[in-house]
Structure 1
Amino acid sequence: MLKYVSAVLVLVTATQASAINIDLGPAAGYNLFIKENFTQPGADSQGKIAIGGNANIGQYDVGVNYEPGTWRDGKQFWTEPGKYSDVLVVGGNLTTTQWAWGNVKGNLILGGKLTEGSSKNAVLGSTTKATPIDFNSAFNQFTELSKELAGQSNTGGLEFKYNNWLILDGTSNNDVYVANITGHQLAKATDLTATGLDKNDTLVINVSGKNIKFDSLNYGKREGFDPLNMAASNILYNFFEAEKITFEGGIKGNILAPNADFTFLQGDLSGQVIAKSWTGGWGAQANLWDGFFVPPDLPEPPKTPVSNVSEPSALLLLFCGLLALVVIRSKSQKG
């Protein structure tokens, strides 16, 4: 059965002394974590998927990095052929095509039923009847988290150059950088530059707007500026107002959109997506990334030294020290 691990990220910003805890709860470890229904006829996810409602995956492959006997970039979910992990959780009913064979590269946890006409051979591993995730509770938590992140001020300056180039001007505070942009800016943006950030920082981009359409975003070199040296696991796009998001193209980073219907037309999306519902096209690829959203390396608070020497032992050491001093002075006077 599934084992859930909470990933906690502590963000410390210049605008508030207290910490913000980002707890992904049951969503930690999933490529896609969807509250309601999921529909996608083809393509694949490299990671695990959890769906609260009904899922129609057609010929979609789930957890392709888990497929025994193959080599792929990214994390492997298996250690020995035939020993599978839980790669797909569906709270409602599951529909596949009647000719699907081994589309789910692991075990299936199913709350409803495999609908009529679906292939019973779609799952490589086992199928267990269960509903292990409370999606309503999880998404209540994500909504509050999204609002809390949206309340943070910009860490540094932000320029929207040429109406297509987002330039973050500043350095992180305690390894965290917060930038606030509009959905219109994201839709127009082709490039993102942040020369003051490095691979150990965490970038949180709050995006306002209810209906957002955007495509590829380049993090590479432009006009002499160095590329953004950050992994997808260190970037979070927070769509705190979004009710509908349409995406196509290529982007790396995690997406938090707890109240949005997410439509992925085509392209490559490298990171985790948390959304209300999901509709994908044949060419929509959900890629794994180099780790999950993890906390920056914050320095540990200094520890107060604790003496394990008992009081009598301390007095004895003091006496011995004084005696040694007397002996040394006596010898020096005789010399």
Structure 2
Amino acid sequence: MGQANPFNVFLKGGLDYFNTDIQGRTAAGGNIKLSNMGMAQASNLTANANRNDVISGGNIQFTNGNVGKGSVLYAGTKNISGVSYSTPGATARRGTEIDFNAAFNQLAQISAGYAGQNETGLRQRSGSALTLTACGNGINYFNVTTDDLWSLSSLSYNRNGFSNVKFIVNVTNGSTRGANAKLENFGINLNGVAQKDILFNMKDVTSLTLGSIGWQGSILATKANVVFNGGAFNGTLVANSLYGCGQFNNYPVPEPATICALGLGAIAVIRRRRSAK
């Protein structure tokens, strides 16, 4: 997912988070406010004082916590107290590393490319239970609405015997819930599908609420302001902003040469189709 690929949380705007962990790397184009936080402590991150694992494109306020594997970078001002660094030489320094506007322009294009794909997987609904079944190797696309997500009691994945399967779920605005999505209070059955092979693409969602859930997979929601109060998120979140105290565990998405490149390829196909009209 472009520059978001190595991050656990990647935001265009601000981050306000407290009393939990973001185990992977974090980058936000706006201000970051953290309290009682463990940052970048994942076992699948190498210790590197020269790598910036908490990146703010604005100001940073960080009270009480730890940065496990790398350093902190901020573009504006800092107010940091009671924060330790586990890697020798790690620190907080002023500077810039990411052009967030350019990064999110690319991510919006990738999201639009995915959203333009036809549904190729099998989507089955039984009451409030949803099962997504692969119909072949490679990327399988599925279409759901925000209305569907509000009413779920369970979500299950089925590889259907295929060994190399990726699930991309395009979420469109429902007639009742509109651009407001909710992922709360339902169980997820992976059935052998890896978190890195699941992506929910919420192209036009502007509000996303998560709670009381062990979320599996990544979410691409470039316009969404996210509230996450309770539970765990096993994947990468790309959004506009984030508030809350839910835990993030580090399950990076594949390198751009796989999923990201396929998304850019989809954009090229759409553009060729439009040019031919």
TM class by smaller structure: 0.7 to 0.9
Task: Name which of 79, 89, 102 aligns with 2:55.
Answer: 89
Classify 1:53/1:182 alpha carbon distance in 2 versus 1 (closer, same or farther; 3 Å). Answer: same
Task: Name which of 20, 31, 35 aligns with 1:58.
Answer: 35
Overall identity of the aligned pairs, in %: 26
Pair 1:132-2:97 in alignment: yes
Higher strand content, 1 or 2: 2
Asked if structure 2 preserves the Cα contact closer than 8 Å seen for 1:271 and 1:287, the reply is yes
Classify 1:123/1:156 alpha carbon distance in 2 versus 1 (closer, same or farther; 3 Å). Answer: closer
Which blocks of at least 5 consecutive residues in structure 1 are unaligned? 1-23, 66-73, 221-226, 297-335
The residue type paired with residue 238 of structure 1 is N
Query: Which structure's relative contact order is higher, taking Cα pairs within 8 Å and 6+ residues apart?
Result: 2
> 1:130, CA displacement in angstroms?
0.9
Aligned pairs for 1:158-197 (under 5 A) are 158-162=123-127, 164-172=128-136, 174-189=137-152, 190-196=154-160
Pair 1:46-2:12 in alignment: no
Provide the C-alpha distance between the structure 2 equivalents of 1:59 and 1:109, rounded to a whole number of angstroms: 18
Aligned positions, number: 247
Partner SS, residue 184 of structure 1: helix
CA offset digits 1:170-196 (Å, max 9, x no partner): 512x51100000112122221224242
Provide the C-alpha distance between the structure 1 equivalents of 2:225 and 2:240, rounded to a whole number of angstroms: 5
The residue type paired with residue 288 of structure 1 is N
> 1:121, CA displacement in angstroms?
4.3
Provide the C-alpha distance between the structure 2 equivalents of 1:134 and 1:146, rounded to a whole number of angstroms: 18
Task: Name which of 223, 248, 268 aligns with 1:286.
Answer: 248
The residue type paired with residue 63 of structure 1 is A
Aligned pairs for 1:1-335 (under 5 A) are 24-65=1-42, 74-78=43-47, 83=49, 85-97=51-63, 100=64, 102-103=66-67, 105-115=69-79, 118-119=80-81, 121-124=83-86, 125-162=90-127, 164-172=128-136, 174-189=137-152, 190-196=154-160, 198=162, 200-209=164-173, 210-220=179-189, 228-248=191-211, 249-281=213-245, 284-289=246-251, 291-294=252-255, 295=258
> 1:268, CA displacement in angstroms?
0.5
Partner SS, residue 187 of structure 2: coil
Asked if structure 2 preserves the Cα contact closer than 8 Å seen for 1:61 and 1:105, the reply is no
Structure-2-length-normalised TM-score: 0.82
The residue type paired with residue 280 of structure 1 is G
Provide the C-alpha distance between the structure 2 equivalents of 1:179 and 1:111, rounded to a whole number of angstroms: 39
The structure with the largest alpha-carbon Rg is 1
Provide the C-alpha distance between the structure 1 equivalents of 2:220 and 2:161, rounded to a whole number of angstroms: 21
Provide the C-alpha distance between the structure 1 equivalents of 2:74 and 2:122, rounded to a whole number of angstroms: 48
Structure-1-length-normalised TM-score: 0.68
Classify 1:199/1:257 alpha carbon distance in 2 versus 1 (closer, same or farther; 3 Å). Answer: farther
Provide the C-alpha distance between the structure 1 equivalents of 2:248 and 2:62, rounded to a whole number of angstroms: 18
Provide the C-alpha distance between the structure 2 equivalents of 1:262 and 1:229, rounded to a whole number of angstroms: 28
* CA RMSD across the alignment: 2.1
The residue type paired with residue 211 of structure 1 is N
Provide the C-alpha distance between the structure 2 equivalents of 1:55 and 1:123, rounded to a whole number of angstroms: 18
